Amino acid sequence: MEINIQALQGICSEFVDDQGLKKEVSIVISPLKVTSSEEQSKIAIITGCNMWKSCVNEGCYYSMSSRKRKDKTLAKT
């Protein structure tokens, strides 16, 4: 079996800068970690965005802001 994993280039129209301004920016979504389980015949791929640190869109899966929001929510429970 051969598996080809590649980075994807694209445009993000949901990027929000530190001033709160929504912009359209070029991004790269890249594989960060690949794990497999032979028992379950399963492969898991964790991806990340190159703009994750500078985006403050809390609704974005990749952004640092969404991670901080999730951490605060978990800390309250």
For the chain of 77 residues, list the mean pLDDT of each consecutive stretch of 10.
Answer: 89 95 97 88 92 93 82 65
User: Using an 8 Å Cβ cutoff, are 9 and 26 in contact?
Assistant: yes
For 74, phi then psi, to 5°, come to -65, -35
**Among 63, 58, 55, which Cα is nearest to 17's?**
55
CB 68 within 8 A of CB 57: no
Strand-pairing partners, residue 16, are: 22
